[in-house]
Amino acid sequence: MERRPDTYYYKVYQDLVAQIYVGKYKKGDILPSLKEFCDIYGVGRNTVRSALQLLQEHGYIKMEPRKQAVISFDCDDLQYQKSYLAEALGRKTAIFQVYDFMEFAMPAIFVYILKGLPRSLRTEIAELIVFFSENLSVKTEAKMQAGVMQLYRLIIALPNNQLLEKLFFAIFSYIQIPVINSEWEEIKLRAIAPLFKTTFKKFQKYIVAQEYDKLGQQVSIFCQTTKKRVDRYLSKFSTKIKAVEMDERARFTWTITGKPEYVQLASALVFKIGRGDYKNGDILPSYVQLAEENGVSEITSRNAIEVLGKLKIVTTINGVGTKVEGFSQTGRDVFLKDMEMRGLILSYIEALQLLIILCRPVLDHGEEMMTEKERDHLKSQFIDQGPACVLKTLLPYAGPVAVSVFECLKNELAWGYLLIIKKNQEKEERALKILTRPEVSIAELIYEDCQQYFDQARQIARKNSIDIPLSIL
């Protein structure tokens, strides 16, 4: 089977390989059933079957008819070890790109979450961190890293934002490193364990004292330190596999699972219409063309256009094609009343919250990489074309992981074009912001826009009796 890094099944495959690496699944273990995997990953049975088939082709599992898959891979077996280390080393550059992203994203996430907690819950989290540090496994580098990621996941789950959790589930799975059992490795790790305890105690101290700047700095330093340790750990293996060919083209990509393909295609088309790629009166590509361009079936294309038709964004004209009508109050009313569509409003709110958390650290980092002339041009672009076009220009400066994350978020954010119909004077308002506050960064301006849309979206949701998890409020 061909490897397609942009597909759902390949994401499931990658995550299961990572879990095998860190010892969650060992030789002889029986994997969950198809249904259980579907529930875990939010995908269909065919997606899981494709992932399992790829695992079998690469020697990780064995499958028999009418039986659940069994792990056949043994990381201590020299027959497998070289290919398994080669796969990890092939991801080395991409792993470090993820750590670079975490270095400026994780402090912002921790501070945002902990600031929003009541004092009693903050105290509980602080105590839990100390308990966690005292019980952290230091038998292998990979198991220790997996333990730290478990703590990260615990904190990230607090806002009850499904997109935030899915993003960091993907990130943590991607940066998992191989387990190599070694008595000498365990001795070294025991020696540095006190340093980890000291770091976690600092986390506790800053959380209790609400010293969030210091907490953010400490989280950033911890990410840097972990990255250096992973670099040394992976470098040790490079001499063992000199004769094995490595594929170093690996890159981290994020794909949001759990939604039908036609809904995702509809979201992508709404984004393009909102951004102006397709203007009112334009004829969209045919069903066949849309299917080819987006790697989906013709039926998926038809279903996506049907969604847009229901929302009055397009009309289908016999013998002509699908005509763009744009966003209207009538379409907005349908969007708010249709039970299937209402779930997209919650996704939009979650995406806005995630953008609010990430935009300042990520975009500030991107702006730092630009020249002064490029920054000035960016502000002109912000006035003329708005935040979406600015993000497209700015994100490559923030790194490939930032591009992947925001590329995925844009389709979730697309429904804001319909939910919050924009005012004609928005361009003038953006110009006024920059003229009256020339020192303000683009990151800050986009943050303010997102916060404004976030507040509006919550008000609309409440007014229309759309349930939002309390922790997102």
| pLDDT tens by residue, 327-336 | 999 999 999 9
Highest mean pLDDT among 43-52, 101-110, 334-343, 418-427 belongs to 101-110
Q: Is residue 322 part of a domain?
A: yes
Residue 83 has pLDDT above 80, yes or no: no
Same domain (yes/no): 275, 227:
no
Residue 302 has pLDDT above 90, yes or no: yes
Q: How confident is the model at residue 225 (pLDDT cuts 50, 70, 90)?
A: confident
Q: Could you tell me the CATH number of the domain that includes residue 171?
A: 1.20.120
pLDDT per residue as tens digits for the range 363-384: 999 999 998 888 888 888 887 7
| Residue 294 contacts residue 268 (beta carbons within 8 Å) | yes
Same domain (yes/no): 120, 194:
yes
Domain assignment of residue 425, given as a range: 342-464
Positive or negative CA dihedral for 347, 453, 160, 406? positive
Same domain (yes/no): 93, 234:
yes
pLDDT of residue 423: 57
String of DSSP letters for 46-106: HHHHHHHHHHHHTTSEE--TTS--EE---TT-HHHHHHHHHHHHHTHHHHHHHHHHHHHHH
186-200, 229-243, 286-300: lowest mean pLDDT where? 186-200
Distance CA 193, CA 229 (A): 13
Please indicate whether residue 130 or residue 409 has the higher confidence score (pLDDT). 409
Same domain (yes/no): 45, 117:
no
Same domain (yes/no): 67, 82:
no
The count of structural domains within the chain is 4
Same domain (yes/no): 136, 218:
yes
Q: Is residue 408 part of a domain?
A: yes
Q: Could you tell me the CATH number of the domain that includes residue 32?
A: 1.10.10.10
Residue 187 has pLDDT above 60, yes or no: no
Interval 32-37 mean pLDDT: 90
pLDDT of residue 473: 45
pLDDT of residue 205: 92
Interval 441-454 mean pLDDT: 88
Same domain (yes/no): 128, 98:
yes
Residue 199 has pLDDT above 90, yes or no: no
pLDDT of residue 177: 74
Q: Is residue 127 part of a domain?
A: yes
Q: How confident is the model at residue 470 (pLDDT cuts 50, 70, 90)?
A: low
Residue 181 has pLDDT above 70, yes or no: no
Same domain (yes/no): 141, 53:
no
Same domain (yes/no): 61, 95:
no
Q: Is residue 246 part of a domain?
A: no
For residue 330, give the nearest of 313, 307, 349, 305 by alpha carbon: 313
Same domain (yes/no): 96, 52:
no
For residue 215, give the nearest of 131, 129, 137 by alpha carbon: 129
Same domain (yes/no): 441, 353:
yes
Same domain (yes/no): 18, 34:
yes
DSSP state of 29: P
